[in-house]
Amino acid sequence: MSAEQQDIVAPMENASISTGQAEQIVDPWNVQGAVVDGKQVGIDYDRLIAAFGTQPIDNAVLERLERLTGRKPHAFLRRGVFFSHRELNRILDRFEQKKPFYLYTGRGPSSDSMHLGHMIPFIFCQYLQEVFDCPLVIQLTDDEKFLFKPNLKLEECIKFSRQNARDIIACGFIPEKTFIFSNLLHVGGAFYQNVVRISRCITYSASKSTFGFVDSDNVGKSHFVSVQAAPSFSNTFPEIFGTRSDIPCLIPCAIDQDPYFRLTRDVAHKLKYPKPALIHAKFFPALQGPGTKMSASVDSSAIFMTDTQAQIKNKINRHAYSGGGATMELHKEHGGRPEDDIPFQYLSFFLDNDEEISEIEKTYRAGTLSTGELKKRCIEVLQKFVADFQARKAAVTEEILDQYMTPRSMGVDLSAK
């Protein structure tokens, strides 16, 4: 832990960058691109890197990852979906040295409706777990959803946790090395002890300025960061790591979750725990276009993991924002704009074949590939992804669910330093 970089701990305000007309807003509860000349533009991720003080994922990182794992980096890395990190190299060092580490990610279960955007961190974690062969803990923040959504009942939040866990399991994790837990059911013992340790290190001022709370917010909100921070420390999971508090984790998450982990990294220093490393994803855009993210509460913005093949086709054809020409003639004449085109962007997330993506981009931009043809390919790829997912989910029984949700040993060599 020597020669650690000092995090730039920017207050949330710094993430809202003035762009003349309306600011870009990125915090755990709001994601909205800037408005320039009355038009919503995409999130400026380079500015987020600067404002949050994170590191871009550059070619050197990708090359090292490929060298160490012997596999081409995941499409999410090659395409810049995971675009930023904090101390990823420290985790790669440990992988190289065969020292233990683990992955930690989470989900806020506010409904039974998981959509494509929710899959991004889990698809990526599945890849990381496969190449690293390491434990993965997945926190379902049903307590947070209850605290932040006044209309939800506690029992509903617990039910959503269990329902969401089935979707998560369908992403194909290693059963023996994956622990999925509901905070409302699991917080206690060593976990609660770390929550209390963490909460002693975070002032109300720090929580307030990081997340933008006001004094009329409930006391659970400003305290909740302690609960989201706790799984970053290995002694929170005695069944997996015993009393070892020095095993670091890597947290793949969307960039809006970074404020939680900036505070967590501060706390780690105070508690003499290793700081969690992070790898940050961009947001999965809504059907309506770039500048916001897919939302479970706006039905027409999202492709849900429960959608039928016909619904997927219909949503892409009817709602997906196109970067193509207004008419077939104009498209042939001027070409399309893949960077604005939602079907193209979805393909860049879900179509692994780099040559095909490159060909699509080139021909679409040239106007030789039509919007209809691009949408057709997008529909095929998403239909297959969702159908495969649904088949895997159908195989997740209550017993399998219970296994994933039971704290247990994962065969980590606890003698390895």
List residues bridging with 25 in a β-sheet: 32
Work out which of 140, 202, 254, 405 binds a second copy, going by CB under 8 A. 202
29 binds a second copy (CB under 8 A): no
Residue with the two structure tokens 């975070």: 202
| Residues near 18 by beta carbon (within 8 Å), at least 6 away in sequence | none
200 binds a second copy (CB under 8 A): yes
For a second copy, the closer of residues 216 and 415 by Cβ is 216
For a second copy, the closer of residues 184 and 294 by Cβ is 184
List residues bridging with 249 in a β-sheet: 102
187 binds a second copy (CB under 8 A): yes
C-alpha to C-alpha distance for 223 and 187, rounded to whole angstroms: 14
393 binds a second copy (CB under 8 A): no
Nearest to 321 by CA among 301, 348, 304, 303: 301
We find the least distance from the C-beta atom of residue 242 to a second copy, in angstroms, to be 16
Span 126-145, contacts to a second copy by CB under 8 A: 143
Work out which of 65, 147, 342, 382 binds a second copy, going by CB under 8 A. 147
Span 226-255, contacts to a second copy by CB under 8 A: 226
220 binds a second copy (CB under 8 A): yes
For a second copy, the closer of residues 22 and 185 by Cβ is 185
Of 71-79, 94-102, 208-216, 296-304, which part binds a second copy (CB under 8 A)?
A: 208-216
C-alpha to C-alpha distance for 203 and 377, rounded to whole angstroms: 51
C-alpha to C-alpha distance for 352 and 72, rounded to whole angstroms: 11
Work out which of 47, 90, 159, 223 binds a second copy, going by CB under 8 A. 223
| Residues near 379 by beta carbon (within 8 Å), at least 6 away in sequence | 312, 313, 316, 317
65 binds a second copy (CB under 8 A): no
Residue with the two structure tokens 């919007």: 371
We find the least distance from the C-beta atom of residue 150 to a second copy, in angstroms, to be 7
Residue 363 burial class via C-beta count within 10 angstroms: exposed 0-12, middle 13-18, buried 19 and up: middle
402 binds a second copy (CB under 8 A): no
9 binds a second copy (CB under 8 A): no
We find the least distance from the C-beta atom of residue 222 to a second copy, in angstroms, to be 5
151 binds a second copy (CB under 8 A): no
We find the least distance from the C-beta atom of residue 275 to a second copy, in angstroms, to be 20
Work out which of 8, 154, 298, 328 binds a second copy, going by CB under 8 A. 154
The type of residue at 70 is G
C-alpha to C-alpha distance for 168 and 346, rounded to whole angstroms: 20
Span 317-336, contacts to a second copy by CB under 8 A: none
The type of residue at 41 is V
Q: Residue 402 phi/psi, 5° resolution?
A: -60, -40
Give the 3-state secondary structure of residue 102: strand
C-alpha to C-alpha distance for 69 and 95, rounded to whole angstroms: 9
Contact set with a second copy (CB under 8 A)? 143, 146-147, 150, 154, 183-189, 191-193, 196-197, 199-205, 207-208, 213, 215-220, 222-223, 225-226
